[in-house]
Amino acid sequence: MTKEELIAKMAASAGITKVAAGTALEAFTGAVTSSLKKGQRVSLVNFGTFTISKRKARMGRNPRTGEALKIPAAKVPKFSAGKELRSAVK
């Protein structure tokens, strides 16, 4: 599903315009992003939890040349599905 398809589905199920649904989606993603930047977790009961995970620095290999290279440490977003979401997609 693309972003446009999601906006259309949100608008249809909520009975609002696509513009309003798009604004709501942008507000949601912006709020989640800013919370994760601050190091906070975002929990949506029965849906899931967005968190930040720390990935350690490690050694990697360039697949083209075989040369060893260092991959720096990074913070990456992580999503864990809630119980209700997991059972809904089974």
pLDDT digits (tens, 9 = 90+) for 13-44: 999 999 999 999 999 999 999 999 999 999 99
| Token pair belonging to 24 | 């709501």
Q: Are residues 6 and 30 in the same domain?
A: yes
Rounded CA-CA distance 59/66 in Å is 12
Question: Confidence band (pLDDT; 50, 70, 90) for 48?
Answer: very high
Residues with Cβ within 8 Å of residue 69, at least 6 apart in sequence: 59, 60, 61, 62
Domain span at residue 55 reads 41-90
Helices (H) and strands (E) in the chain, counts: 3, 5
DSSP bridge pairs for 61: 68
Task: Tell me: do 55 and 73 sit in the same domain.
Answer: yes
CATH number of the domain encompassing residue 76? 4.10.520.10
The reply to whether 8 and 22 lie within a common domain is yes
Do 45 and 25 belong together in one domain? no
- Kindly report the average pLDDT of the chain as a whole number: 95
- CA–centroid distance for 42 within its chain: 11
Same domain assignment for residues 27 and 49 = no
